[in-house]
Structure 1
Amino acid sequence: MATAQYETRTRTVEETVVVLTLTEFEADELRRVVGAADGTHTMVRIFGALEKPTPPAAPEPSADTFEYEGVTYELGAVYRDREGDHFKFEMPLSADGTPGGRSRYIDGSGFGGPHWTLAEVAGAYGPLTKVTP
């Protein structure tokens, strides 16, 4: 279903733009119509935009993440080490500069036990795999 809306973007000068959302079928039909138009400068630019739509922007990483040795970890998520133990890492940072973590109790009732850091667990028992619920 086609939709259109006005948006205001601020640059050096403010301008109002029209954002047009189309299905693939609708975009194909519009390309056909615009491609058959009179060839004015504006129509050529519109046709060029229709031929090469920009891909969606990559989502910004969550503020609750921490990158360690090129791997991004989600804070508060549960990770399994190579031996099958589960850990949860949270802020604040530990003395080694990585988030602190706790291992899951043997009976699975929660997290506690000795305090580990992300650097210790990843270094000694990595790679870590995120456990999805």
Structure 2
Amino acid sequence: MAKSNLRKTRPPVEFGRLQWIALAVGLFDIATAIHPLFAFDTSNPLLRFSTGVAGVVMARKWEHARRFGIALVVGYGGLVLSQLAGPDRLEPVTLLYARTALSGVLIIALSIRGAGPAPRGSAG
């Protein structure tokens, strides 16, 4: 009997707008962890690097990219709120946390707006 060498082929990963933004945010976070853009960036590079890696990995699927946006809003939004509630003077790094939280808001807004994953198998 001849052996069949049939493999299941995976369909190519199709990126939507939401996934491209999650990927861009992830790559930007990795880049700023390696080389900070601003002199006042006193945030932990490991935190920014891990956020970036999570963004790159989670950008593969639409649902995961949306969860990445939610995680950015919850995580970095919490950091912003703790900075606002804590000391008498505001630290400049709070602006970087707010930028990352707003990136998450953008990702969530795009997911709610209806930029869902493209249906598979439809000829159009």
| TM-score computed with the length of structure 2 as normaliser | 0.25
Q: From the CA coordinates, give the structure whose radius of gyration is larger.
A: 1
Flag the structure with more relative contact order, 1 or 2, with Cα contacts below 8 A and sequence separation at least 6: 2
Richer in strand (by share): 1
